[in-house]
A and B are shown apart, each in its own frame.
Chain A
Amino acid sequence: MEKVLPDKSGYFGIFGGKFVPETLMSALKELERVYNRAKRDKSFQDELKYYLSEYGGRPTPLYFARNLTKKLGGAKIYLKREDLCHTGAHKINNTLGQALLAKRMGKRRIIAETGAGQHGVATATVSALLGLECEIYMGTEDIKRQSLNVFKMELLGAKVIPVSSGTKTLKDSINETIRDWVANVRTTHYLLGSCVGPHPYPMMVRDFQSVIGKEVKRQILEKEGRLPDYLIACVGGGSNSLGLFHHFYNDAVKFIGVEAAGLGIKSGRHAAPLYVGEIGILHGSKSYVLQDSDGQILPAHSVAPGLDYPGVGPEHSFYKKTGRADYFVVTDKEALQAFHFFSETEGIIPALEPAHALAYLMKIAKDTNKDEIIVLCLSGRGDKDVEIAGALPDRFKAPATIPSSRRIRR
């Protein structure tokens, strides 16, 4: 067994760390201390388990996608149905964990960033549940793209604060949330939504999300009597993918992460820091980022707001550097085609984020053997994206025939 990372300083190899203003250091140390204690505390774990199952709807099914498997003609495809979680995505696994921690720390005010609005809704939800005050920072671009989620957050009693600085998307809503935290750190918990940011966030969020892979392991052994050959998930910050991968780290299972190629890697308008980024420091940790030759962070682009981020979790950077996982990219167009194809094939409308993972699956399924097993994390449902997808011209819609791998690759 290899040692479980990060190390004591929050490093995954050369990635991670705590690159934050001094004002936040005490809060990060407190969080680390409280989290490490809670991790070993049975009463905390029992409470979390209770809420995850009774409130969050866990365990989620590991669904054998019969139609998809048949149409794609390769390996057996299983879908981890995180779209069936309360609030419609895997985000609730982490928000429940962190909100319970915030209560332990006596912090009654919760702040969070949100891109797609999924994490914002999940945060507003647990804040309502546990009686915590909640404010969500959201870029004005994203507010426009995801108005349904804005309405949901307000309905749940949260205040949505528009962020109009910089690119007006996820990156800048994180900046604004950090600024709020710097000013209110004594009374406020920053409920960060992905495996990014300073230590202990990348570790803590991964741990809370690792319930995904833990269930998958048990479920696939029950159904197939063996471990899968491939795990596939989309990667924005990286929480659903790391949640899926974590418990398989020491197993002979291939990890595949799918980043957003946006309008195409060559166009420069994408969100693929692992694929083409360089090492840098953003939002408190060292990882791959999209940056220019002067070290300025570049704006990202993806049709999926949850992937629209120029950075990525440090653990993914470590996986890339060490070769533990392979990373591929999928364009907006390919993801939208997969969105339609999958909805028609399985009767499940996926969020645009996991539609990226599905698009990659469609590309490679033909090259896999029928006796192999693929598990794909269906991290969220697509209700929030219907408006975006509906507004697009017909050429983005599913081809009438089964897509050949050639056609998708074009």
Chain B
Amino acid sequence: MVPDQNKSKSMNRIDSKFGELNRKGRKALITFITAGDPDLDTTFELVLEMERKGADVVELGVPFSDPLADGTTIQRASQRALNNKVRLRDILKLVYKLRRKTEIPIVLMSYLNPIYKYGLEEFATTCRKTGVDGVIIPDLVPEEAEEWLTVARLNKLSTIFLAAPTSPLERIKKIASKSTGFLYYVSLTGVTGARDKLNSNIIEALKAIKRITNKPVACGFGISNPQQARKVSRYSDGVIVGSAIIDLIEKSTSRKAILKNVGNFVASLHQKMVGD
């Protein structure tokens, strides 16, 4: 019997974190990596290293054969993890192992099918037991989520929904009301991947969204350097950086180099975001 890693918590780690940052007047740095890219031991070390260098929340991507919301960077990361035969259950075990070392909020990002195949209820229960705090399912919109939300609520799991530039404001309001933990605002009309320039409408959009919801709003997709992170964090409660980190993992030739390069990059994001 696995001891329940979330039992003693009256409050979800994500909510506590946003509360704490809010009191300090700070914004959340949320970093994304694909679990098992290039292997699960590196992922374990990377989570701890990113936390040391200033990450506030970690998002772990569950590899999938058909990641249709992802650009080439995360597609390749997903493929590397799949080549290593990394399975959803291995990632849940990894989180369990991490929970002996860290209390950083951990969010799993997975397409629906691996979760559906695992069994919605069993997955939610296992998330609670292993210490997962929230789940992002990029191909699950609120209309289709009732069954999932029921089991997620029972297990005190946050379900983070996405809002996009193509979502009308009225709809974003509804999405925000269904979302727990935070609302994920997709900064651009497109798939994931580092971009040189930010979408020009992003500030206006974030301002409008902040007016219609009290929930924390984190912004991701295409944010790839400290300047962009700083700019976006001014108008949101958090910034999500993924592909830019995975690019570094891909370019590094050893585990040591991966930890060093990603660590330095996360530190530079953190410094720019907290600096005056």
Which residues of B, 111-141, contact A by the 8 Å Cβ criterion?
A: 111-118, 138-141
B95 on the A face (CB < 8 A): no
CB pair A23 B116 closer than 8 Å: no
Among candidates A172, A284, A293, A294, residue contacting B139 with C-beta atoms closer than 8 Å: A284
B21 on the A face (CB < 8 A): no
Q: How far is the CA of A9 from the CA of B189 in the complex (A)?
A: 25
CB pair B113 A281 closer than 8 Å: yes
CB pair B167 A25 closer than 8 Å: yes
Among candidates B82, B87, B143, B164, residue contacting A21 with C-beta atoms closer than 8 Å: B164
CB pair B65 A22 closer than 8 Å: no
Given A183-B189, A280-B117, decide whether A21 and B65 contact each other with a Cβ distance below 8 A.
no
- Could you say which residues of chain B place their CB within 8 Å of the CB of A179? 68-71, 191
CB pair A22 B116 closer than 8 Å: no
B245 on the A face (CB < 8 A): no
Which residues of A, 173-194, contact B by the 8 Å Cβ criterion?
A: 175, 178-179, 182-186
Which residues of A, 111-125, contact B by the 8 Å Cβ criterion?
A: none
Residue from B65, B82, B113, B166 with most neighbouring chain A CB atoms (10 Å): B65
CB pair B71 A18 closer than 8 Å: no
B190 on the A face (CB < 8 A): yes
CB pair A283 B189 closer than 8 Å: no
- Could you say which residues of chain B place their CB within 8 Å of the CB of A171? 66
B168 on the A face (CB < 8 A): yes
Q: Is the interface of B mostly helix, strand, loop or mixed?
A: loop
CB pair B113 A26 closer than 8 Å: no
CB pair A186 B117 closer than 8 Å: no
CB pair A182 B117 closer than 8 Å: no
Residue from A22, A175, A179, A291 with most neighbouring chain B CB atoms (10 Å): A22
**CB closest residue in chain A, given B139:** A19
Residues 43-68 of B, flagged 1 when their CB comes within 8 A of A and 0 if not, give 00000000000000000000011111
Looking at the assembled complex, report how far the CB atom of B58 sits from the nearest CB atom of chain A, in whole angstroms. 22
- Could you say which residues of chain A place their CB within 8 Å of the CB of B163? 22
**CB closest residue in chain B, given A25:** B141
CB pair B114 A296 closer than 8 Å: yes
Among candidates A22, A182, A185, A297, residue contacting B66 with C-beta atoms closer than 8 Å: A297
B225 on the A face (CB < 8 A): no
Q: How far is the CA of A5 from the CA of B177 in the complex (A)?
A: 31
B75 on the A face (CB < 8 A): yes
CB pair A23 B66 closer than 8 Å: no
**CB closest residue in chain A, given B63:** A296
CB pair A22 B117 closer than 8 Å: no
- Could you say which residues of chain A place their CB within 8 Å of the CB of B111? 281
CB pair A296 B164 closer than 8 Å: no
Q: How far is the CA of A155 from the CA of B197 in the complex (A)?
A: 37
A27 on the B face (CB < 8 A): yes
CB pair A22 B161 closer than 8 Å: yes
A residues adjacent to B (C-beta < 8 A) = 9, 17-27, 165-166, 171-172, 175, 178-179, 182-186, 278, 280-284, 289, 291, 293-297
Q: List 27 A-B contacts (CB under 8 A).
A: A17-B144, A18-B144, A19-B112, A19-B140, A21-B68, A21-B162, A21-B164, A22-B167, A23-B69, A25-B141, A25-B166, A25-B167, A182-B69, A182-B189, A182-B190, A183-B189, A186-B189, A281-B112, A281-B113, A282-B113, A283-B66, A291-B117, A294-B88, A294-B114, A295-B116, A296-B82, A297-B113
Q: A18-B141, A25-B166 are in contact. List 4 more A-B contacts (CB 8 A).
A: A185-B166, A278-B117, A282-B66, A291-B113
The list of the 4 closest CB pairs from A to B, nearest first, reads: A295-B117, A295-B114, A183-B190, A23-B164
